Amino acid sequence: MLLNQLLGRQPQALLFDLDGTLIDSVPDLASAVDHTLKHADLPPAGETLVRGWVGNGARKLLERALKHAQSDADLDALLPVFFEAYEACCAEYTVAYPGVEAALQHWHKQGIRLACVTNKPERFALKIVRHFGWDKVMPVVLGGDSLPQRKPSPEPLWEACERLGVERTDALMVGDSVNDVEAARAAGMPVIAVPYGYNYGSDIREAKPDLVVEQLDELI
């Protein structure tokens, strides 16, 4: 089992990023971005562009959209518009990546504790996790606004371990971006990456995670 090789034993906990790791959320994010741009009388960005902007939270996403539109519109005024639009559609076209469901269910049955550690605002992350029924196997969900710090800071990973009741040295991080790799390194835990997510157009292998798998069920 590949997980055991990274720690030299079976991990007690797995911490997962959400967007780009467990789910492809870009269709719904793009819908909310385009709604917000329309509200500001700006042209839509479209799903292809938004796919390259995701990964650093909603504020940065909208900042990139406004920059692309060459607009000096008030970002703080538009964020509530984006949040309202996204809350209405965040689980409409979002899908789980292949292998995710089988992997999560397998690890839950193995007694491995699971948590979601994302930079997405907590209320959206919770809504999506519940939409897929993962709250039954993933009791801890930390968003980008759950703590004063967010990834790539290590504190969210440490907090997830504390809430799960496991030692940091018994946990692994699973993500898709350099933020996840840097957070895991700072937290002192191994990190597994998937290559299909949102890493700003760069190959995640360049961030030197401990392991890259094409889909999560390769790990079971």
19 marked as part of a ligand binding site: yes
- How far is C-alpha 85 from the geometric centre of its chain's CA atoms? 19
pLDDT in tens, 55-79: 777 898 999 999 999 999 999 999 9
34 marked as part of a ligand binding site: no
Q: Are strands 191-193 and 171-175 parallel, antiparallel or unpaired?
A: parallel
Tokens 């990023």 locate to: 17
> What is the Cα–Cα distance from 214 to 134, expressed in whole angstroms?
21
| Closest to 21 in 3D by CA, of 212, 196, 213, 209 | 196
Answer for the pair 53, 37: CB distance below 8 angstroms, yes or no: no
Mean pLDDT for all residues in the chain: 96
In this structure, of 33-42, 48-57, 92-101, 163-172, the range with the lowest mean pLDDT score is: 48-57
| Closest to 20 in 3D by CA, of 54, 62, 45, 53 | 54
Of 17, 24, 180, 210, catalytic: 17
Q: What is the full DSSP assignment across 38-70? A: HHTT-----HHHHHTT-SS-HHHHHHHHHHHTT
The contacts of residue 184 (CB under 8 Å, 6+ apart) are 154, 157, 172, 173, 175, 190, 191, 209
- Domains, in order of start, for the chain: 2-24+95-219 (3.40.50.1000), 26-89 (1.10.150.240)
Cα dihedral 2→178→126→146 (10° resolution): 120
28 marked as part of a ligand binding site: no
- How far is C-alpha 147 from the geometric centre of its chain's CA atoms? 16
Q: Is 17 labeled as catalytic in the residue annotation?
A: yes
Give the pLDDT band of residue 52 (cuts 50, 70, 90). confident
Give the pLDDT band of residue 87 (cuts 50, 70, 90). very high
